[in-house]
Amino acid sequence: MHMMENVTIKGKNFLGFEIEINADDLEEIKKGLDIVIASSVHLIKNSIVTLRFTEDNKQFANDILNYLKGKNIDINAVVVDDKNNLQSSVPVIELKNIHLLSDSHKQQPATYKGNLRNGQEIRVNGDLIIAGNVNPNSYVYATGNIFVLGKLYGIPHAGYGGNNDSMIFAFDLNPPQIRIGNLITRSPEEGVSVKQNNNMVFEVAYAENNSIVISSYDEWLKLKN
Amino acid sequence: MAGKVLTITSGKGGVGKSTTSANLALGLALSGKKVVAIDLDIGLRNLDMILGLENRIVYDVVNIVEKTCKLNQALIKDKRTENLFLIAAAQTRDKSAVTSEQIKELAEELKKDYDYIILDSPAGIEGGFKNAMEPADEVIIVTTPEISAVRDADRVIGILEANSKTETNLIINRIDPTLVKRGDMMSKDDVLQVLSIPLIGIIPEDKNIVSYTNIGEPSILHKDSKSGMAYKNIIQRLLGKNVEFMEITEDKKGFFQNLVSLFKE
Ligand SMILES: Nc1ncnc2c1ncn2[C@@H]1O[C@H](COP(=O)(O)OP(=O)(O)OP(=O)(O)O)[C@@H](O)[C@H]1O
Ligand SMILES: [Mg+2]
């Protein structure tokens, strides 16, 4: 007898490493997770992990996040097709096309887990994923795309070396400057605000007709399709 | 005994490192721990003054590392408790008079006899800061709720992390609830958003601190002092107790304490 696994490690998506959950019963899912964790705990603890739910089991998202938290496993984001009716304590990525990006880049993205702090800089060849915040006065350079699973308040340079087709993604995109390929844009100079806004809209910066455009992630996905 | 080196640092100057060092050192000693506080702000010493011990200085930390005195001779005993000793900074020398290896060696020696070795760091990220950072087992970062202080603290935390110093805790000093309420001061959460390290305490703005310093009596010795209360809570947390964060409220003259609590200490 051979059935589809309840819970499987699907491998790389554009954010890192994805666990796909197929079962529709909470206890079954937990059992499946236990098996995956037992066999791959090292992999799971040392990379950016997203959970992929189906329309039929996304109602369990919070239960499962808590279950994993109890096992000291932190999930960076939840991935679903449609985020309606979803309760989640971590960011939700609504992706009909999660593989869209990585298809064009055969190289594995570099990942950095932790906060990039004032005075620090990171440079990579290819795509870069940062699971953490990029704080003011830090610098991020990637020859490919930059994905920040956190706040981006430092200065990103995607497509470093001249690739204007690169993009920048962040949970909270608020840098003083954005550099893509050989383009550069400055954020409008408002007074430094100490207020923060909590309505997080994932945003993307990309180049169009030789200027840098910022749009919500949802809008950007629509454009791409 | 296997003592612990606790370094107090900040990046930006004047945010309350020495005030914090004095209160924590004295408080831990009064709780029964054996403590040595070392002033590493060589050339700009003032921990001795905040502790009220400046008249007792004969030898200092430079004398120890240059071996012009014995360690015991440079340990200045506190007036109030048998458990606290101060090693003063030299005033006529500069930061380059000691190396981080020498401070490390001194700290290792002291760990045999003391529970806590508290290092009061100078401002900045140069040599003097490194002397205080490198021997640290745990670090307390002090910041005020100002953007420039928080940015500097972030820089320092980055350097600490790069040196594998990950036992770090944060103190936010001089918070003023009236200003936070008006939106003119960063709140506790604003600061934590940027720094994302564990908070061990918040000290309210306390205009009495200047006079406490002048008479050499840190806040914790003053029963009604709000900053003293906040420091006492931090001491309990350092000792592993789970203490509720107290409410910091606005003072209204002539009224009993305002009931609006804006945030928790
Ligand atoms: N909570 C507080 N409320 C009011 N004033 C304070 C408070 N904390 C510290 N101060 C005052 O701020 C000034 C600087 O404090 P302190 O000397 O402790 O800072 P520091 O970080 O050690 O400075 P330096 O970088 O120069 O060593 C002092 O005048 C002190 O009295
Ligand atoms: Mg000082």
Asked whether B209 lines ligand 1 (CB < 6 A), one says: yes
SS3 sequence of B180-204? HHHCCCCCHHHHHHHHCCCEEEEEE
Query: Bigger pLDDT: A108 or B47?
Result: B47
* Of B19, B24, B172, best ligand 1 pocket probe by most atoms within 8 Å of the beta carbon: B19
Query: Bigger pLDDT: A112 or B61?
Result: B61
**pLDDT value of position B118:** 98
Checking if the pLDDT of A99 tops 50, the result is no
Any idea which of A61-70, A115-124, B60-69, B242-251 has the lowest mean pLDDT?
B242-251
SS3 content of chain B, % helix, strand, coil (to 5): 40, 20, 40
Report the pLDDT averaged over residues A64-88.
84
CA of residue B56 to ligand 1 center, whole Å = 22
* Of B209, B211, B232, best ligand 1 pocket probe by most atoms within 8 Å of the beta carbon: B209
Question: In sequence order, which residues have a C-beta less than 8 Å from that of residue A103 and are 6 or more positions away?
Answer: none
The answer to whether the Cβ–Cβ distance between A194 and B194 falls below 8 Å is: no
Residue A8 contacts B where some CB pair is shorter than 8 Å: no
Rounded Cα distance, B182 and B173, in Å = 18
**pLDDT value of position A107:** 61
Residues in B touching A115 (Cβ below 8 Å): 196
Taking the CA of residue B19 as reference, the ligand 1 atom at the shortest distance is: 18
Query: How distant is the Cα of A190 from the closest Cα of chain B, in angstroms?
Result: 15
Residues in A touching B151 (Cβ below 8 Å): 118, 136-137
Query: How distant is the Cα of A135 from the closest Cα of chain B, in angstroms?
Result: 7
Asked whether B15 lines ligand 1 (CB < 6 A), one says: yes
**pLDDT value of position A72:** 83
Query: Bigger pLDDT: A95 or A221?
Result: A221
Task: Tell which B residues from 189 to 228 touch A, by Cβ distance under 8 Å.
Answer: 189-190, 193-194, 196
The answer to whether the Cβ–Cβ distance between B158 and A119 falls below 8 Å is: yes
Sign of CA dihedral B97, B48, B140, B207: negative
Pairing of strands B247-249, B261-264: antiparallel
Rounded Cα distance, A59 and A80, in Å = 11
Rounded Cα distance, A15 and A163, in Å = 20
Q: Which two tokens stand for residue A191?
A: 């007074």
CA of residue B251 to ligand 2 center, whole Å = 28
Residues in B touching A138 (Cβ below 8 Å): 158
Would you place residue A101 in the very low, low, confident or very high pLDDT band (cuts 50, 70, 90)?
Answer: very low
Please count the helices (runs of H) and the strands (runs of E) in chain A: 4, 16
Percent of chain A with pLDDT over 70: 79
Taking the CA of residue B121 as reference, the ligand 1 atom at the shortest distance is: 27
User: A136: nearest CA in chain B?
Assistant: B151
Rounded Cα distance, A42 and B165, in Å = 23
Residue A195 contacts B where some CB pair is shorter than 8 Å: yes
What are the helix (H) ranges across B54-133?
Answer: 61-65, 71-74, 100-111, 127-133
User: B196: nearest CA in chain A?
Assistant: A115
Report the pLDDT averaged over residues A38-55.
78
Closest CA to B173 of B62, B8, B34, B5: B8
Percent of chain A with pLDDT over 90: 40
Span A172-207, pLDDT tens digits: 899 999 999 999 998 765 544 333 444 567 889 999
- Residue with the smallest CA separation from ligand 1 atom 10 is B16
Per residue of chain B (265 residues), what is the pLDDT tens digit? 789 999 999 999 999 999 999 999 999 999 999 999 999 999 999 999 999 999 999 999 999 999 999 999 999 999 999 999 999 999 999 899 999 999 999 999 999 999 999 999 999 999 999 999 999 999 999 999 999 999 999 999 999 999 999 999 999 999 999 999 999 999 998 999 899 899 999 999 999 999 999 999 999 999 999 999 999 999 999 999 888 877 666 654 433 333 333 333 4
